[in-house]
Amino acid sequence: MALMATKTQRTERRADALSKARIVEAAIEILDTTGESALTFRVLAARLATGSGAIYWHVANKNDLLAATTDDVIARVMTDVIGGSAPGEAIRGIALGLFDAIDAHPWVGAQLSREPWQSAMLQIFESVGEQVQALGVAEPEQFNAASALVNYILGCAGQNAANARLAPRETDRSAVLASVAARWTKLDPAQYPFVRQVAAQLPEHDDREQFLAGIDLILAGIEAARQAAR
């Protein structure tokens, strides 16, 4: 009986020493360097120099762990957004923060799309929704406006991260885009007149600037609809 009590006390001490924050930090490192498929409790336990049981004390399963890592990344984005900004600037800040976070942690985009009503998604939707309200959008239109912004942000950020994963890190982006642009210019002008027209802009365009231009277009549409509803 005394031996069982001692064993329980030791387990509790190990669990206390190994915080959930440390587990999440280590999991993020694994996800960033080797991807989601490499994240197992055995690998995580080896990284933390502990047993899997100590990790299970804090995290129920891999889905719970992925949710916790995603929450951590998104919470830091929301914390970094400067308070007191005008609503439009705040939305741009949220959008760019998410774009950069998903670019740095591509697995975040996949996790957000996999479980759309998880805590991290609610953080994003709430933050964007608050700013839509501050823009003076009528209540019946707030859901549509916030949804349009969130869908655009996550869609573009996820696609950008997916594109980056297709090429090795040492790949010259401009060279790849120049090669694509060259193929575009050879397309049938009758079938692809617009694609041929914009081909010259492809190699040197800035993904972040183009992303923010899309945010501005949506914000302009929201403002136009607000004015028309007066």
**What is the per-residue pLDDT across 165-212, written as a single tens digit (0 to 9) for each?**
766 565 677 888 899 999 999 999 999 999 999 999 998 889 999 999
Q: CATH classification of 66-228 is 1.10.357.10, yes or no? A: yes
Q: pLDDT above 70 covers what percent of the chain?
A: 89
In this structure, the number of other CB atoms found within 10 A of the CB of residue 132 comes to 24
Domain limits of the chain? 8-59, 66-228
Residues 181 and 200 sit within 8 Å (Cβ to Cβ): yes
Can you give the pLDDT at residue 175? Answer: 84
**Can you tell me the distance from the alpha carbon of 97 to that of 82, in angstroms, rounded to the nearest whole number?**
11
**CA count, 13 A, side-chain hemisphere, 106:** 13
- What is the DSSP code string of 154-197? HHHHHHHHHHHHHS-TT--HHHHHHHHHHHHHTS-TTT-HHHHH
**Can you tell me the distance from the alpha carbon of 149 to that of 41, in angstroms, rounded to the nearest whole number?**
36
Helices (H), the chain: 2-17, 20-34, 41-48, 52-56, 62-80, 87-104, 106-114, 119-134, 139-166, 173-185, 193-198, 207-228
Amino acid at residue number 164: A
Report helix, strand or coil for 229.
coil
Where residue 128 falls among pLDDT bands split at 50, 70, 90? very high
Q: How far is CA 202 from CA 162, 193, 198, in A?
A: 18, 15, 7
**Can you tell me the distance from the alpha carbon of 22 to that of 39, in angstroms, rounded to the nearest whole number?**
15
Q: Which fold has domain 8-59?
A: Arc Repressor Mutant, subunit A (1.10.10)
Q: How far is CA 19 from CA 24, 56, 84, 108, in A?
A: 9, 11, 33, 22
Residue where the block lists tokens 């594109």: 163
**CA count, 13 A, side-chain hemisphere, 70:** 27
Each residue's pLDDT tens digit, 63-113? 999 999 999 999 999 887 766 789 999 999 999 999 999 999 999 988 998
